[in-house]
A and B are shown apart, each in its own frame.
Chain A
Amino acid sequence: MERLSTNQLYKSGVPVTIPTSLPSIPASLDESFPRLPDAQSVLIERELRSTPLPPHQTTIAPIRGQFHSNTGSVGPLCSPPSVRFSSHSNPDQYSIHNPYNSQAPSTATSSTLNYGSQYGGFEPSITDFPRDVEPTWCPDPIESILGYSGDVPAGNNVTGTTSIGASDDLTKQTEWWTEFMNEDWKDMVDIPTSTETQQVGQPVQPSISVHQSATQQTVSSQSVEPLAVVAPSPTAGSNTAKARMRWTPELHERFVDAVNQLGGSEKATPKGVLKLMKADNLTIYHVKSHLQKYRTARYRPELSEGSSEKKVASKEDIPSIDLKGSFDLTEALRLQLELQKRLHEQLEIQRSLQLRIEEQGKCLQMMLEQQCIPGTEKVQNAKTTSDSEIPESSTVKDVPENSQNGPTKQTESTDSQ
């Protein structure tokens, strides 16, 4: 039934672009990204959740093989959505919420839409998927998944198949897929045979599942019996909590204080530290991993101290050479540092330039939108020629010009919005 509706969809001549409609799609297209450990595994895993059906076990299996993930970091990327392109779902969720500090699943879902909403700008140009199509997707997500699971992007159905039975569709899709595979995609697919399945079975997490234009995933995540084959992960519950934490020095200082209060890095427990720190957005998993890193970092210097002590003992009889050695070392270190400083300098310059260029690009864009075309071409050319001169001085020159027009234009446009 679902397929019928999708076929109707296609017959209606709407260009179906995968991103908006079927985020779950090509889990096998994901095969082309085999070596991306963290984000990709989450991505694939979420895809997989929407492809729960036994007939596709064969395709699922190789995908499963890809889930060789660093367990620690799968969770955090849960919030970044697999559907980036769901501008059709809740466009009003234009939150500026930073996905990397979110803990609660609800915020995770809204933050995913943050991603999606970012594409609002170009979405319409990619597809004019009418919004009223959405309701048709909801009813039978499972069947729709059957139609699109694992192998074939929706594009396949554009061949205008009418009410085809499941098996037919499937064969068509596999045919299409093999054909597709024979193109240059082949060399991009390299499926590792590792059977790391730990992170895959995040099945029953409707809270994690990204709310998308097609709500298939939310519904499909409940029908996960086949996925149970992929060992249900013990860390399923932790995924929602493992959003990426940004450890600032201040936060770290608080951490160290808490650890010291508890008697040192060996004695401190994550729970204790967490309680002492009293920081929002901090989960025990963050603390745990951070504590581990802290311990390793502290252990290594002690090791090196131990070994260098031995070195000193052996060199005691030739103090003169030792002294010279330290001079040489200082010089070498100085050289290394100089080089690194230089790279840093250049990077900073480059970065500020890039930022400025993007800024001006934005102003330019806005000006283009406001002015009529002949005028804008002139502006563009002027910009290009000025940039080909010594950029620093010319951009400085240009900025005041632009900023005169820019801000006013900006305020105009914001007002009109």
Chain B
Amino acid sequence: MKFGKRLKKQVEESLPEWRDKFLAYKRLKRLVRLVSASGSSPRRHRGSAAEAAFLRLLDAEVDRFNAFFLEREEDFVIRHRARSTFSFCLHSDPPSIRELKEMAKKVAEDALRRRPLSAAETRSVRKEIVDLHGEMVLLLNYSAINYTGLAKILKKYDKRTGRLLRLPFIEKVLGQPFFATELISRLVRECEATMEAVFEASRGHAGASAGTAPVAAVAAADQGIFRNTVAALVTMGELRSGSSTYGHFSLPPMAPPESDLLRCGCVQVAAGPVSI
């Protein structure tokens, strides 16, 4: 029940178009409840029907995850590459010769981008990269949450029916595209590297800036991703705070999140949307 509620909360906080792409945990749970414990014959018909539906739904869900994941991944690949053409333009320092050459190569495809970016454009591009980073991480979170949900529901099923569905099914899931998140992870790290360089450079220039005081006005402008990230971290912390049915398949409790960072984030979210 706890997971179901947490999942629901996470879904609510997620980006709108993602909301119906998560695991149908509640439905699956209901089906498991309908499934007869092995050996009780009067309920056998319904039980077996529920079982069939359960197995079907499981597969359908996996397919759904794969479809959504691959589609998002494709989108990210496109956007990431498009953004990386700007990455050289983001540096405040003059780019090196090598960088210039690479920049010229990548920029050559579109005459429009040959001109240097204005301050506002730089801002918006930076924001886009951070947002792209955020979305990708949220996709990873999506994958993780669905995996967790599947594992849990399979455990329930095995418990109820005494069958051994969990292991082979989970193994299959491990091989699914939606769980093979290495590519997205790599893109995320590349984004991080890009932004690190930007922040390094800007730190030099900015000097004494506004400090780490919550700048609600600006950050809250993208409520969706930011909010979702905060929610994801909080949910993960809760989910991993120790389980009642601890077994050798359970995850250990998560290290407590840096409270100030998270608090900062929560303040931002609570501050409400303010336009730039």
Contacts and interface: CB of A to CB of B under 8 A. Distances in A.
Given A333-B130, A336-B134, A362-B167, A305 B46 contact: no
Interface class of chain A by DSSP: helix
A39 B128 CA distance: 32
B163 interface: yes
A387 B49 contact: no
Interface in A292-328: 293-294, 297-298, 301-302, 304-305, 308-309, 311-312, 315, 322, 324-328
Contacts of B127: 329, 333
A82 B127 CA distance: 43
Given A122-B165, A244-B70, A264-B109, A326 B219 contact: no
A253 B109 CA distance: 12
B77 A249 contact: yes
Nearest to A184: B30
A340 B130 contact: yes
Interface stretch (A58-66, A150-158, A204-212): A150-158
Interface class of chain B by DSSP: helix
A347 B140 contact: yes
B121 A308 contact: yes
B27 to A, nearest CB: 6
A259 to B, nearest CB: 8
A357 B202 contact: no
B251 A330 contact: no
B55 A358 contact: no
A57 to B, nearest CB: 23
Interface in A66-100: 73, 76-77, 80, 82, 84-85, 100
Interface string B127-138: 110100110010
Contact of A297 (B79, B195, B215): B79
B71 A115 contact: no
A354 B144 CA distance: 10
A164 interface: no
A256 B109 CA distance: 9
B55 A347 contact: no
Nearest to A323: B119
Nearest to B119: A326
Contacts of A133: none
A414 interface: no
A15 B134 CA distance: 50
Given A32-B53, A33-B60, A18 B119 contact: no
A39 B264 contact: no
A346 B66 contact: no
Contacts of B63: 38-39, 77, 80
B246 A388 contact: yes
A350 interface: yes
B77 to A, nearest CB: 5
Given A246-B73, A339-B262, 15 more contacts: A16-B48, A33-B24, A100-B177, A115-B59, A126-B51, A184-B34, A247-B78, A332-B218, A339-B226, A339-B261, A340-B229, A344-B188, A357-B251, A365-B167, A392-B252
30 contacts: A17-B52, A19-B55, A38-B67, A39-B60, A43-B56, A43-B60, A121-B164, A121-B167, A153-B45, A184-B34, A244-B67, A246-B73, A247-B73, A249-B77, A297-B75, A301-B82, A308-B120, A327-B202, A327-B209, A330-B206, A332-B268, A339-B230, A340-B130, A340-B137, A342-B258, A342-B261, A350-B144, A357-B251, A358-B171, A361-B249
Interface of A: 15-19, 25-26, 29-30, 32-33, 35-40, 43, 73, 76-77, 80, 82, 84-85, 100, 115, 118-122, 125-126, 153, 155-156, 158, 176, 180, 183-185, 188, 244-249, 252-253, 256, 260, 264, 290, 293-294, 297-298, 301-302, 304-305, 308-309, 311-312, 315, 322, 324-344, 346-348, 350-351, 353-355, 357-358, 360-362, 364-365, 380, 383-384, 387-388, 390-392
